[in-house]
C-alpha cells in the first residue's frame, strides 16, 4: 500500500573532477513509496531550483534498467538496498520514514567524477574498443539456424551479454577491478563461433587496456557478483583467465 515518507538526504556535491567535494544535507517531504529513487531525486532538484540553488547532477537515460547510466552509491551499496536492479528501478518502499540516505558517486580511479554524482565511464568504451568486437561481413542477415550453436552455449552467451556496463562491479570492488565487466564481454563472444577470429588477442588486449586505465586486480571476494544488477556470475572471470592463458601460450 502506497504511503508518503519524509527523508533526510546527505548528497555528495562536487563542482568538477579537480574540485574538493563535500556532503550537503537536504530534506524532502511527502515522497510516495511507489516512486522510484530517481523520481525522488527529481523532486529534490525541483525543490532546489525553486529555492534558487544548483540542482544535483546525476546520470540517467532510459530509466528502465537498460542503459546502465544511473550510477549511484546509496547507503554504502552500489545501486542501493535491493538486488538485481540498477538505481532507476529502486523504489522508495525500500526506505523508512525519517530515514537518512547517503548518496555518493562511484569511487574508482577509472571513473573520474564529472560533477556531483556523475562519473566518466568512458573507460568501459575504451576497453570494448580494444577487443569487444568481431570481424565479420555485415551483409545480409543470415538465417538464425544457419550456424548450429549448442543451446547451453547460446544461453550462457546471452547471460553474459546482458551486462549493461553500469560499473557497479568496479564501484563495489575494494580494488576497483573491472574484471567482471571485461569477462562478461569476453564470454559473450568466446562462446560463439563468430567470436573465434579475435579470440587469440581479445583477452590480452582488453585486460591490458583495463590495467592502463587504472582499474585494479580482481579481489576474489565476489562482491561484484553480489551487486551486479543483471546477476553476471564470476564464473565468467574464470573463463576470461582461461582465454588469457591460452592466448599467451599461443604467443
For residue 195, give the CATH number of its domain: 1.10.1060.10
The predicted pLDDT at position 227 comes to 96
Domain check: are 130 and 108 in the same one? no
Domain check: are 105 and 175 in the same one? no
Sign of CA pseudo-dihedral 104, 105, 108, 114: negative
- Domain span at residue 141 reads 121-250
Domain check: are 126 and 246 in the same one? yes
Domain check: are 58 and 151 in the same one? no
The predicted pLDDT at position 196 comes to 86
Give how many domains the chain has, as a whole number. 2
Domain check: are 127 and 219 in the same one? yes
Q: Which of 83, 114, 145 is the last residue of a domain?
A: 114
β-partners of residue 8 are 27, 100
Domain check: are 40 and 143 in the same one? no
Domain check: are 76 and 160 in the same one? no
The predicted pLDDT at position 141 comes to 66
Domain check: are 238 and 126 in the same one? yes
Domain check: are 94 and 174 in the same one? no
The predicted pLDDT at position 147 comes to 77
The predicted pLDDT at position 140 comes to 72
pLDDT in tens, 52-106: 999 999 999 999 999 999 999 999 999 999 999 999 999 999 999 999 999 999 9
Q: Which of 114, 133, 163 is the last residue of a domain?
A: 114
The predicted pLDDT at position 216 comes to 94
The predicted pLDDT at position 188 comes to 92
**pLDDT under 50: residue ranges of the chain:** none
pTM above 0.75, yes or no: yes
Amino acid at each position: 500500500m502506497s504511503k508518503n515518507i519524509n527523508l533526510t538526504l546527505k548528497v555528495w556535491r562536487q563542482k568538477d573532477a579537480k574540485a574538493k567535494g563535500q556532503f550537503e544535507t537536504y530534506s524532502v517531504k511527502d515522497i510516495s513509496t511507489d516512486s522510484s529513487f530517481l523520481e525522488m531525486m527529481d523532486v529534490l532538484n525541483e525543490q532546489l531550483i525553486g529555492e534558487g540553488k544548483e540542482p544535483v547532477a546525476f546520470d540517467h537515460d532510459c530509466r528502465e534498467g537498460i542503459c546502465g547510466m544511473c550510477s549511484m552509491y546509496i547507503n554504502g551499496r552500489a545501486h542501493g538496498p535491493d538486488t538485481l536492479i540498477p538505481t532507476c528501478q529502486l523504489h522508495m518502499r525500500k526506505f523508512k520514514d525519517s530515514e537518512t540516505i547517503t548518496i555518493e558517486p562511484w569511487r574508482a580511479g577509472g571513473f573520474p567524477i564529472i560533477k556531483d554524482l556523475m562519473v566518466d565511464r568512458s573507460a568501459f568504451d575504451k576497453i570494448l574498443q580494444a577487443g569487444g568486437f568481431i570481424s565479420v561481413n555485415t551483409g545480409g542477415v543470415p538465417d538464425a539456424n544457419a550456424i548450429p550453436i549448442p543451446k547451453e552455449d547460446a544461453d550462457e552467451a546471452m547471460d553474459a551479454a546482458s551486462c549493461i556496463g553500469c560499473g557497479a562491479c568496479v564501484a563495489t570492488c575494494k580494488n576497483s577491478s573491472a574484471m567482471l565487466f571485461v569477462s562478461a564481454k569476453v564470454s559473450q563472444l568466446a562462446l560463439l563461433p563468430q567470436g573465434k577470429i579475435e579470440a587469440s588477442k581479445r583477452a590480452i588486449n582488453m585486460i591490458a587496456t583495463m590495467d592502463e586505465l587504472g582499474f585494479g586486480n580482481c579481489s576474489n571476494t565476489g562482491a561484484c557478483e553480489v551487486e551486479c544488477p543483471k546477476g553476471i556470475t564470476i564464473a565468467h572471470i574464470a573463463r576470461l583467465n582461461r582465454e588469457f592463458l591460452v592466448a599467451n601460450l599461443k604467443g
